[in-house]
Amino acid sequence: MKRRIIILAGLLLVGLIATAAFAYGGGRGHGGWFNQGGGFTACFYGLNLTAEQTAKMDALRDNHWKEVQPLRDKMFVKRNELRNLWLEANPDPAKINAAQKEMQVLRDQMQDKMTAFRLSALNLLTPEQKAEVQRNYRERGFGYGRGPAGCPVGPGFGGQGPGR
């Protein structure tokens, strides 16, 4: 009888821990990275965005995600291919260099799309809102880490360098 109670209590504990882990979610997926506390527009906290601006920002974000996701998928595949090339008994320098160049092309394409996305987002703002974003830029910079209002938007848009 005691053994059953101990096993049942253990299973219950594992279930509670798993439930908490799944409930937390987070991460940098579409639901975590962009939707921190109010969606992408949380990055413009304090700018008093109108409902129309908010809707346009959300549509812009969704469109950007759809454009970038295939590139991210290709990058994942190429990264695995490169890893396998390095793990060969006799790594072929030509193949490794070619794979790295392919990854660089994908990175450049992703960066171009991110730049276009940022410019489009800024173009939705009023001159006063743009001035506030510029003020935040001067104070925080656009590096790795957290941007205005602690918005985690990844490399290149907020924070003061890696690890902040």
* pLDDT tier at 31, thresholds 50, 70, 90: very low
Residue type at position 160: Q
Alpha helices per DSSP H over the chain: 2-24, 51-87, 93-123, 127-140
| Host domain of residue 48 | 27-150
Q: Would residue 158 count as lying in a domain?
A: no
CATH code at position 127: 1.20.120.1490
Enter the pTM of the model.
0.59
- pLDDT over threshold 70, residue 23: no
110-139 pLDDT, tens digit each: 999 998 998 898 899 999 988 887 777 666
Cα–Cα dist 6/1, whole Å:
9
68-118 pLDDT, tens digit each: 999 999 999 999 999 999 999 999 999 999 999 999 999 999 999 998 998
**pLDDT the model gives residue 101:** 96
Please answer whether residues 43 and 149 qualify as being in contact, where contact means their C-beta atoms are separated by less than 8 angstroms: yes
Cα–Cα dist 59/41, whole Å:
11
Q: Which of residues 151 and 125 earns the better pLDDT score?
A: 125
91-99 CB contacts, 8 Å cutoff, 24+ apart: none
pLDDT > 90 in the chain, percent: 39
Q: Would residue 160 count as lying in a domain?
A: no
Please answer whether residues 72 and 78 qualify as being in contact, where contact means their C-beta atoms are separated by less than 8 angstroms: no
- pLDDT over threshold 50, residue 5: yes
Cα–Cα dist 76/82, whole Å:
10
Q: How many domains does the chain have?
A: 1
Q: Would residue 33 count as lying in a domain?
A: yes
**pLDDT the model gives residue 45:** 65
